[in-house]
Structure 1
Amino acid sequence: MSEITSFLANLVHDNLVLTFGLLLVVGALGGVLAARIRWLPTITGYMAIGLAMGPSGLGILNDQGLSQALVLVDIALGLILFKLGTALHPVKAWRTPGLVLTGVAESLITALVIGVLLWWLSGSLIVALLGGAIAVSSSPAVLIHVAHEFDAEGPTLDAAEMLVAINNVLSFLLFTLALPIALFGQGGTLLSAIEVPLVSMAGAVAFSVVTALIITRISRVTLVHEAHLRFPLVVGGVMLVLGLAQALNVSGLFGALTLGIATRWLEKRRSSLSNIEFGGGGDVFFITLFVVAGAKLHLHDLVQYWPVALAFVGARAAAKVVTVTSLGPLFGYPVKKSFAAGLLLVPMAGLAIGLLQTTSTLVPELGARMGAIVLAAVAIFETIGPPVAAWAIKFVGEDGAAKSAADS
């Protein structure tokens, strides 16, 4: 058996086309198998098959082979963050101030709770600040994909999408504020410590807004029978932002989120890009994203650091769920829906890993100290996140099956 897996691993090695094909085929198989279990979202199937094929399993997909697929993963994350960014609109925020305040309060409380926990565990204020900022982020990929799979829609899902968007914006902003302290503490000059994160954020915002201007202008001249061209327009816009971010060494994930926000603000309702459905074309990227996520689960970190990881997971989940459940009723949201919205914030993955990679690049010593804990926690969140999200949607009856039963 080991000879067969070694042979397959050597075939996949340095062959992007073969790697991509394998990811899609085994991912589709995992999704089909998961679909046979009613309560299990297909994301879990994608990740389980990825885990089985990855370094912690058979080893057919090794680290070098997976690194080739990162460009596809980045595109998938970019599309998801774009879609999430379109949920943030000034008019919508103005009409739901309670939801915005809940999102801000929940983000700050999560940062505080995790910051105190990490400070107590590590004794380092810098680790506490950066770790608290990273913990604020929530996974839009799990929310959007599970909602799409269960044909979910409703006020709880709408609220959760805005809360996740607020989480990720504030996570990046808090991280940007904490990073100068980390850089200065590691011997950098005060000017460079402030300049690096601010330039990164400003650069991402600038070219994302310019890209949004371009794609919204093109979208306005598309006719009704040309509406199918808007999906490749969105994909192209996201890829432009990711490519520019890579060339200019700024955050591509924050750029994609900003692109979605700017597009929603600039577009005309007639030529709306924010209502684009990704469909089968998007599934190509999303299957790749979740299979790779499963293959890259760090089980050795989880085994070694499980007590700290469990403390991180429990504290973060409690901070988010308790805060949203407590504040929601104050602004007119029922306790049941507030509780479900809080549960939908529990998954954590993409942006957290991206911010951790930024830490490792700019401050390697801190990245190494934080990496094991955060990645072990991510392994838990990626495992429990999809079933938790699916249960929360069904709990408030906003899945397609519940709506069909209510209509009949």
Structure 2
Amino acid sequence: MERSILFYLGVILLIGLLFGRLAKRFYLPNVTGYLVAGLLIGPSVLGLIPATALTGMEAFGEVALGFIAFLVGSDCKLSYLKKLGKTPLIITLCESLGAVALVLAALLIAGYPADCAVMLAAIAAATAPISIIMVARQYRASGPFTDTLLAVVALDDAVALVAFGIASAATTLLHDGIGSSPREVGMAMVGPVIELAGALFIGIGLGMAFSVPLRFFKGRESRLILTCSFILLGVALADLLGLSALLMLLCMGAALANLQQDAAAIPRIADSIAPPVFLLFFVISGAKMQLSLLPSVGLIGILYLVMRALGKTLGSALGAKLTHSPVSVQKYLGPALLPQAGVAVGLSLLAAQQLPQHGAAIHTVVLCSTLLCDIVGPAVAKYALRKAGELPTGSDRL
């Protein structure tokens, strides 16, 4: 590893810490401070962290994402999911389909090509679970609204992958017409589903494997080392197989939580190294944002951004009403689902490969949506948690 990368990592930790403290002064989540810090020191503004250094830090970002996903999965006990029932699944389907339907309708009415509209509509279903989860963790939010929110964002990306598979098949038909062979259509549809299933089963397998050495290593230090080793192995395996590290590590954490009796101690042990990992992930994410893309978005970007937000809000309200969820869930869940990154950006790259004639437009729209929603989204999520009455007294100082 080049010494310069280590230097830049040190700079990121220091500046991220300062901006996290500054965010608290304005009663904003740490995540917002980290993202703004990254944006300012990245190539788009001050250029303190050059693009070449960011490329060298990609592995750190992947490991941090896997670490966060594992911690989220470790909270997914079957007893907890049974308590929530079908509510999160129904709400997830409603808000995802709401975003897909409104984005698709708006782009088609505005006269954009059908294949481009279908791809963007499918990507609109995805939500960035990490920033939302981090806000809830920072403020120690708890209650029915928080439980529903965390369950919905955990399911959201799985639904987005399935929607993208269907969209890929649809665009194959739209692009090639009747000449498309059943095999081509089938492969376009099945690919993302295979990715989803692969991440699910391999993640569960890793969780089962992880539970074995835990029976023999009871010490805090030993278990911390085991946790780090399995997270690194999971991220590397996901990269090798071309699967979603987010979903794989989430499934690994969930499998471990349900197989190991004292698994609840693992997240508490991992929390000791969590703060710098989270800080690195979000500052690096902010540094990758490209302000130069904003002027090129145009009407298609505005329609995508507005219709996606409207679809998520109306869809979640409908799903919450159908499941007789508390009023707080019906009113405030939608705005908390604004952030979009991770899976959405990855899907935009796949869409660009499948539709090279629209690739630049699709990727630019999704990146700009990520830029705007990830800066504003954490603050909106905090507002929703406050309005739902699930932020403890004095939490603004956390």
Q: Does residue 351 of structure 1 match 2:347?
A: no
Q: Which moved more, 1:377-386 or 1:318-327?
A: 318-327
Report the Cα distance in structure 2 between the residues aligned to 1:342 and 1:208, rounded to whole angstroms: 29
Residue of structure 2 in register with 1:317 after alignment: 309
Distance in 1 between residues matched to 2:209 and 2:265, nearest whole Å: 12
Counterpart in the other structure of 1:251? 244
Aligned-pair identity in percent equals: 25
Aligned counterpart, 1:215: 210
Residue matched to 2:333: 341
1:400 maps to 392
Q: Determine the structure 1 residue equivalent to 2:89.
A: 100
1:331 matched residue in structure 2: 323
**Aligned mates of 1:279, 1:89 — CA distance in 2:** 18
Aligned partner letter, 1:22: V
- The residue matched to 1:383 in structure 2 has which SS? helix
Structure 1 stretches lacking a partner, 5+ long: 1-11
Equivalenced residue count is 389
Partner Cα distance (1:148, 1:295) in 2: 23
2:256 matched to which residue of 1? 263
1:313–1:380 Cα contact (<8 Å) kept: no
Q: Does 1:238 align with 2:227?
A: no
Instruction: Tell me how far apart the structure 1 counterparts of residues 358 and 255 of structure 2 sit (CA, whole Å).
Output: 33
SS at match of 1:160: helix
Q: Residue 297 of structure 2 is aligned with which of 280, 285, 305?
A: 305
Moved more, 144-153 or 274-283: 274-283
Deviation sequence 1:271-305 (CA, Å, 0-9, x none):
34775464341122211111122222221222222
Q: Offset of 1:388 from its aligned partner? A: 0.4
**Structural RMSD (CA):** 2.9
2:6 corresponds to which of 14, 17, 26: 17
Q: Which amino acid aligns with 1:61?
A: I
**Correspondence for 2:72:** 84
SS at the partner of 1:138? coil
TM-superposed CA distance for 1:112, in Å, is: 1.7
Provide, for residues 215-265 of structure 1, a one-character-per-residue CA deviation record: whole Å limited to 9, x for no partner.
122234443xx245444433332321221122223333332333334334x
Give the TM-score taking structure 2 as reference length: 0.86
Q: Does 1:66 align with 2:54?
A: yes
- Residue 163 of structure 1 is aligned with which of 146, 152, 165? 152
* Structure 2 residue identity aligned to 1:81: A
1: CA distance, partners of 2:53 / 2:267: 35
Structure 2: gaps spanning 5 or more residues:
none
Q: TM-score, normalised by structure 1?
A: 0.85
Q: Is the 8 A contact 2:22 2:33 kept in 1?
A: yes
Task: Provide the rounded CA distance (Å) in 2 between the counterparts of 1:292 and 1:227.
Answer: 30
Residue 113 in 1 paired to residue 99 in 2?
no
Residues 107 and 300 in structure 2, CA contact (< 8 A), matched pair in contact too: no
1:295 lines up with 2:287 in the alignment: yes
- For 2:48, what is the secondary structure of its paired residue? coil
Which gives a bigger RCO, structure 1 or 2 (Cα 8 Å, sep 6+)? 2
- The structure-2 alpha-carbon separation of the partners of 1:393 and 1:299, relative to structure 1 and needing over 3 Å to count, comes to same
Deviations 1:133-186 (A, max 9, x none): 221111222112112221222221111000101111111122233334446766
Shift of 1:118: 3.3
Q: CA separation of 1:195/1:175 partners in 2, compared to 1, >3 Å: closer, same or farther? A: closer
* Higher alpha-carbon deviation: 192-201 or 102-111: 192-201
